[in-house]
Chains A and B, each alone.
Chain A
Amino acid sequence: MTSTSPVQPAENHVAPQADHGDPARSLISRIAEGRAWLFLAGLIVCFEIWSRLAFGATFVLNPFNLQSIAIFAVAPLLLATGQTFVIISGGIDLSLGFIMGLAAVVAAHATNMAGAAIPLPLAMLAGILASVIVAGVPGVINGLLISRLKVPPFIGTLGMFGVARGAAFLLAGGTTVPVQNSWFALLGNGKFYGVPYLVIITAVFVIIMHYLLSQTRFGQHNYAIGANVQAARRSGIDIRGHILRLYVLSAMCAGLGGALYAARFTAGAAQAGEPLLLDSVAAVVIGGASLFGGSGTIFGTVAGALVIAVIQYGLVFVNVEPFWQFIAVGVVIIISVLIDQAQRRFSGARQDE
């Protein structure tokens, strides 16, 4: 026998299927997927040490701090849940900030008007309902522009950003609209066993949105459209209808955000969501979504929103000039994207250059 190869390849044998289950690789991608939670843990540890060294006081074990951070995170998180859906589909919604402002003003007006006619708790519900429905209108327009008229999401929603902004200020008469409704104020500032109602409402809402994204056809199609719109279309998915529903959904998330803002401050302000728009995008990106579409999760976005809230609140707590917040959040966004790209390179997935 002179054969050097003990293995005899069969004539018709087809190359074995490579299985990319390399444990090292999946560890890297798992770390990359959970990076927002790691960031969050790291930040909390940093602030805890800082706080103990500087003031000899605990940061994270102080329930007041936790409450404040949670309250801080509520509004950006509500915008960011809708934004998560949109970004996964490969789009972006720049109008959310002023849709939230519009909704806050509508919530204030509607609650006041309804309060004159019906009992206060019902008036509160009417106000919330009205604000969410009114918020849906710019969502419908966004959706039609993008799905039917093929306007790029960036431009279409930028236009709606201006329209919603103007409408909100017009409706508010250029000022803030105070709410006269004790139930509404209680909703915005009351607590249940130490947990603010706002946080409870947001948590329930986020869980529903997580279900929608991860367990339903709508969510599944959203991922497919973000990855490969041609494949999704060829699979018989109604792309136009999906995109329309998508932007209505994100606008209604902002609507709820606006209503809860009006409850918290017992006033509707047109500029309510202005600084929150970019925070919402940042939360989604820190949470692990790719701006190219196709990836992201609601719980990642929750972590992203908490990272931003911890940075903002923590830096105030340790008495650093507030402008450092912007720098810190910016740095976290950049690091997050770098990790995402490194992970793509490692995981051997195809990359778009």
Chain B
Amino acid sequence: MNNTNQNGPLLEVRNLSKHFGAVRALNDFSMAVRPGEVVALAGDNGAGKTTLIKAISGVFQPTGGEILLRGQPVTFATPQEAREKGIETIYQDLALADNLSIGANIFLGREPMRKAFGFLPVLDRKAMAAAAKETMSRLDFHVSRLEAPVSNFSGGQRQAVAIGRAVYWDAQILIMDEPTAALGVPEQRKVISLIHQLKAQGRGVIFISHNLQDIFAVSDRIVVLRRGVQAGERKISETNHDEVVKLMVGG
């Protein structure tokens, strides 16, 4: 068995179930994410992808089964607890306060303070801007106007800010829900390259997408969900679009 050793999975989900009354949104589902691995979750609408990530990120309490983080069983009462343990969920939208700068968004809710005139606590905007610059350059995203509100940036850049926030707070598992859905093609490529960098940094990524092209471009493995159960798991190098679609629709 894998314990807390380095090669073991970062995150493991064992026999996870989530029932809403008689509806079995997720049933006896298992999967694992290793460091530096991108696992794609695929499945039709209502297959249970969202239920799964909500259970992992602490939004729902699972009905049964367990979640292991580096081999240790964990439970999250709130998304906040999951985040503190290094599981960050990046939603397609609703992630940023558009009127604030990149730095302010990275630090939202945990702003650094300094003392002005030796006694007056004030927001340390310089520290925020410096951290923003450093973090964004780690993601190969170079921006000169660090004080500009993020509404001035494009969709892909905003996605990069959301990813940058997770990276700054050292998230080890990033769950990305349709990160490319609302973006133009060049922006999609940018996000895909960001995911490659997260992978190179040894983080685990769970990548949810409807776009098989993106899934094949970035993932190591693909897990297919169908009506709440695992319909199949394939290495990307050993499968193709047709097989994945068949798994999804149950053909």
Contact = CB atoms under 8 A, between A and B. Distances in A.
B4 to A, nearest CB: 27
Given A12-B193, A17-B157, A216-B123, A235 B108 contact: yes
A232 B152 contact: no
A15 B186 contact: yes
Given A14-B140, A17-B157, A21-B144, A217 B97 contact: no
B140 A231 contact: no
A327 interface: no
Interface residues of A, number: 32
B95 A231 contact: yes
A17 B80 contact: no
Contacts of B91: 234
B98 A220 contact: no
B111 A220 contact: yes
A294 B98 contact: yes
Interface string B94-122: 11111110001100111101001000111
B145 interface: yes
B95 A226 contact: no
Interface string A1-30: 000000000001011011111000000000
Contacts of B94: 228, 230-231, 234
A228 B161 CA distance: 15
A221 B193 CA distance: 32
B86 interface: no
Contacts of A236: 80, 83, 109-110
A295 interface: yes
Contact of B98 (A21, A228, A237): A228
B97 A224 contact: yes
Contact of A17 (B104, B142, B193): B142
A11 to B, nearest CB: 11
B148 interface: yes
Contacts of A295: 99
Interface in A230-279: 230-232, 234-237
A227 B142 contact: no
B186 A227 contact: no
Interface in B132-148: 140-145, 148
A15 B151 CA distance: 19
Contacts of B152: 20, 347-349
Contact of B190 (A15, A216, A348): A15
B100 A223 contact: yes
Interface residues of B, number: 41
Given A224-B97, A228-B94, A349-B98, A18 B154 contact: yes
Contact of A231 (B97, B122, B144): B97
Contacts of B149: 349
A220 B145 contact: no
Interface of A is mostly: loop
B98 A350 contact: yes
A230 B109 CA distance: 13
B79 interface: yes
A319 interface: no
Contacts of B190: 14-15
Contacts of B109: 221, 232, 235-237
Contact of A14 (B95, B154, B189): B189
Nearest to B140: A14
Contacts of B153: 18, 20
Most buried by A among B94, B108, B110, B148: B108
Contacts of A62: none
B140 A19 contact: no
B137 to A, nearest CB: 11
A347 B80 CA distance: 35
A345 B143 CA distance: 23
Given A14-B193, A224-B108, A236-B110, A20 B145 contact: yes
B151 A349 contact: yes
Most buried by A among B95, B99, B141, B149: B99
B108 A231 contact: yes
B152 to A, nearest CB: 4
A20 B122 contact: no
Contacts of A18: 153-154, 157
Contact of B144 (A15, A19, A230): A19
Which 6 pairs between the two chains have the least Cβ-Cβ distance? A235-B109, A224-B97, A235-B108, A215-B122, A230-B94, A236-B109
19 contacts: A15-B186, A18-B154, A18-B157, A19-B144, A211-B120, A215-B123, A216-B122, A220-B100, A220-B111, A224-B100, A224-B104, A227-B99, A228-B97, A228-B98, A231-B97, A234-B95, A235-B108, A237-B109, A295-B99
Given A228-B97, A234-B79, A348-B152, 9 more contacts: A20-B145, A211-B122, A217-B111, A221-B108, A224-B97, A224-B100, A232-B108, A236-B110, A349-B98
Interface of A: 12, 14-15, 17-21, 211, 215-217, 220-221, 223-224, 226-228, 230-232, 234-237, 294-295, 347-350
